[in-house]
Structure 1
Amino acid sequence: MKLFRIVLWIAVLVTASALGFLTYKMTETKEAAVGGPFGVPFTLVSQNGQPITEKALTGRPSAVFFGFTHCPEVCPTTLFEMNGWLAKVDPDNTKLNAFFVTVDPERDTPEILGQYVSNVSARVTGISGPPDKVMEMVKGFRVYAKKVPLDAEKPDGEYTMDHSASVFLLDAEGRFRGTIAYGENTDTAVQKLENLTKS
């Protein structure tokens, strides 16, 4: 009986050690995964018609919002709020970048997106491009975006877009640092951006 207990305890210790090692390796892998740049590489078009890649999301921390110009409320509100947050946190425009990526590239050409964004903010850069390439970026950033017909009987007619409404916060290395939710308290949003400038 004594020998059985000793063998049992050895088995428990070996199992516990193995589980501990596996947990450590899984955590290490997870940390390595989150430690890299968020999203996917992309080559798209900025609102001024120039090529823009994922490198634009490095060098300085970035606030990135996905929306569309036909959006009735969420997108114009968020764009307006982003402009206000940036004015408070980075009045000299030396610490943060900000981007508005369309989820509706079929209608939002770089020129249209540029007019839309610049009507609200000179601090935010619009990003569009070929629809398939834009949607690769949208999916790569794990953003939900779906075309919704305004008339169910005319699926190819006028439509709106259902989409995620959070602002993504990336550090200067392009790594994910959090989000600002739609409708979040202004002071909280500003604090998150201030923290981002120090990351």
Structure 2
Amino acid sequence: MASPFFARLSGNSVMGSGIRSFASPVRTTSLPQASFAKGASGRSGFHASSRRLDFKTVEQAKSRYRSGPFSWKSGLLFLASGVGLMIYFRNEKARMERRRVAEMSKGVGRPKVGGPLNLLDHNGKDRKDEEWRGKHMLVYFGFTHCPDICPEELDKMASIIDLVKKEHGDVMNPLFITCDPARDTPPVMKEYLAEFHPDLIGLTGTYDQIKQTCKSYRVYFSTPPEIKPGQDYLVDHSIYFYLMDPEGDFVEALGRQHTPGQAAKIIGDHIKDWKVAAKKA
């Protein structure tokens, strides 16, 4: 006798000349279907229905993963930030050093450089230091009969004046004070200074006035007190440019080792510092 299971199987699977399907006890999962389409060239092409990849080529995909979280742009930004910080701290250090030098010149127990001026200018007009308040002063001591050093330093002073004026405007009074009052009269000084720079202000006075002024600025002064007409003599003096702030206080002395560009840079930095301090006050 045939088993009922085989009987059912036989009855469901065969009918007439065709085979009938029966339900499978196993569940299947549908996979994405692929379709073929004929392109313009007549050749079949494969189109996947799955999600397209973001990368067009394999090399682009590799490049993205090879670069990591940092790019060349972020590297340049990091480098630029580092350089900017380095420049800032270097400038700040230089500013603090200039401030320290300026404060040292005003320190207790140190000899003061500078003092009141009451002299004649190269036009024969009485001038006092109060007239130049509000601007920096660049003071140089010399004499018109100086054979070599004074002309060189006055040429240098003229270059400094132009450089500072170009960068910061009319913010400085350049003064030339003679160490030889017997020969350096106002007309002599006017003719002499005209060869160097129109902004230079020549100052002269009596022997005692010049001696006291040189003493105030700590300038070596060796001019003889009594000179006979036509007498020839030598004059020794210190070779420095004295920078004074707009209140008449000494800031810094610039020597022969400074080029015009270096001196102008130092003066310009002090001018900037003064403006910053004035805004904060």
Band of TM-score, shorter chain: 0.7 to 0.9
Check the 8 A contact 1:61/1:169 in 2, yes or no: yes
The alignment-based identity, stated in percent, is 29
In the other structure, the counterpart of 1:116 is 192
Distance 1:76 1:93, change over 3 A: farther
Distance 1:192 1:147, change over 3 A: same
Give the TM-score normalised by structure 2: 0.53
Q: Which has the higher Rg, Structure 1 or Structure 2?
A: 2
In the other structure, the counterpart of 1:140 is 216
In the other structure, the counterpart of 2:148 is 73
1:130 is displaced (CA, Å) by 1.5
Check the 8 A contact 1:169/1:196 in 2, yes or no: no
Question: Over the residues paired in the alignment, what is the CA RMSD in angstroms?
Answer: 2.6
Distance 1:164 1:139, change over 3 A: same
Q: CA–CA distance in 2 between the matches of 1:180 and 1:134?
A: 21
Whichever residue aligns with residue 77 of structure 1, its letter is: E
Check the 8 A contact 1:61/1:196 in 2, yes or no: no
1:137 is displaced (CA, Å) by 0.8
Is 1:163 the counterpart of 2:163 in the alignment? no
> Normalized per residue, which structure has more strand?
1
Check the 8 A contact 1:96/1:197 in 2, yes or no: no
In structure 2, the residue corresponding to 1:197 is in which secondary structure?
A: helix
For structure 2, the 5+ residue unaligned runs are 1-102, 225-229, 275-281
Q: CA–CA distance in 2 between the matches of 1:93 and 1:126?
A: 21
Q: CA–CA distance in 1 between the matches of 2:109 and 2:125?
A: 31
1:185 is displaced (CA, Å) by 2.3
Matches within 5 A, 1:1-199: 31=107, 38-91=113-166, 94-147=170-223, 157-198=231-272, 199=274
Residues 93-131 of structure 1 show CA distances to partners (whole Å, capped at 9, x for unaligned) of 511110000000011011111111122110110000122
Distance 1:115 1:33, change over 3 A: farther
